[in-house]
Homo-oligomer: A and B are copies of this chain.
Amino acid sequence: MGRTNGTPDGGRNVREGSVDLFDTVAAFRAALDAERAAGRTVGLVPTMGALHDGHLSLVRRAASDCDVVAATIFVNPLQFGPTEDLATYPRDLAADAALGEGAGVAHLLAPAVDEMFPSPPLTTVHVAELTEGGEGASRPGHFDGVATIVAKLFAVAGPCRAYFGEKDWQQLQVVRRLAADLSFPVEVVACPTVREADGLALSSRNRHLSAAERGAAPVLHRALLAGRALVAGGCSDRDELRRAMAGVVAAEPLARLDYAEVGDGGPGALRLLVAARIGATRLIDNLEAPLP
């Protein structure tokens, strides 16, 4: 298997089983333009690779909603701080291509950094307000990096539905807002967090956990469940909810809390969010807490 197609701009386009693998923006865009020209709707799943069942749930949802699924794999340097895990972020394109194909990806863009940024970009997309707390406070510049790369991927992909996981809740709000503010012809679709049996939210970073850390990691979900139980019992005091979630995390010796936050969760609900380090690995999670 595997055939190589020359593309007009000289990009490589390798057909890997039934997934077309692109390393240039131009060839990927041309493929999606051709799908739309043939009357097919496009679902877009932007990722940083290291695909797991969470990503694949986005692909499956896109495949059920749209005629064809396009995915991108790009470990975006703009969204990593200088002390963060850009270098060690897991990368395995062959495995990702196989997993993506199995879930229904037809077109996969996996560009090198030089292809995405032939020169260091001078352009930054910033979303105000929504980026102030939570991850925005803990990871300065993170959401500018996210917003910039997502705007670029939307500009590359063209008219589509784009699928994002609720696991990155604040990112989801940022992406929705930039799509609306900049009038991208993109419908942002939110998909529920996928969890292990013990409640741990799937994350590419989970593979960094030692066995002991893996045992401790569900504490984030337990903290959220404790918060949700308080809300269900009538508590809507945000300080009290934060303290309760922080207390659950503090009881786990391998965990170090980054933040416990309470945000608006849409009509009739709060959104509970936590971030913590389990050993050297930083994990985040969130949960809707319906008001009684």
Give the contact stretch, choosing among A84-92, A122-130, A258-266. Answer: A122-130
Does A178 make an interface contact (CB < 8 A)? Answer: yes
Taking a contact as CB atoms under 8 Å apart, the answer to whether B128 and A125 are in contact is no
Taking a contact as CB atoms under 8 Å apart, the answer to whether B25 and A183 are in contact is yes
Docked CA distance A183–B153 (Å)? 8
The smallest beta-carbon distance between A270 and chain B, in angstroms, is: 21
The smallest beta-carbon distance between A78 and chain B, in angstroms, is: 11
Docked CA distance A125–B147 (Å)? 10
Q: Which residues of chain A (116-165) have a CB below 8 Å from chain B?
A: 116-117, 121-130, 147-148, 151-152, 154-156, 158-159
Docked CA distance A202–B125 (Å)? 32
Q: Which residues of chain A (144-203) have a CB below 8 Å from chain B?
A: 147-148, 151-152, 154-156, 158-159, 177-178, 181-185
Docked CA distance A156–B181 (Å)? 11
Q: From B116, B122, B147, B181, give the contact of A130 (CB < 8 A).
A: B122
Copies of this protein, total: 2
Taking a contact as CB atoms under 8 Å apart, the answer to whether A151 and B182 are in contact is yes
Q: From B128, B130, B183, give the contact of A124 (CB < 8 A).
A: B128
Taking a contact as CB atoms under 8 Å apart, the answer to whether B154 and A181 are in contact is no
Q: From B117, B122, B128, B156, give the contact of A129 (CB < 8 A).
A: B122
The smallest beta-carbon distance between A34 and chain B, in angstroms, is: 12
Binding site for B on A (CB under 8 A): 25, 29, 33, 37, 116-117, 121-130, 147-148, 151-152, 154-156, 158-159, 177-178, 181-185
Apart from the given pairs A25-B183, A117-B181, A123-B126, 7 other A-B contacts in the complex at a CB distance below 8 Å = A29-B185, A123-B147, A124-B125, A124-B127, A151-B151, A155-B183, A158-B158
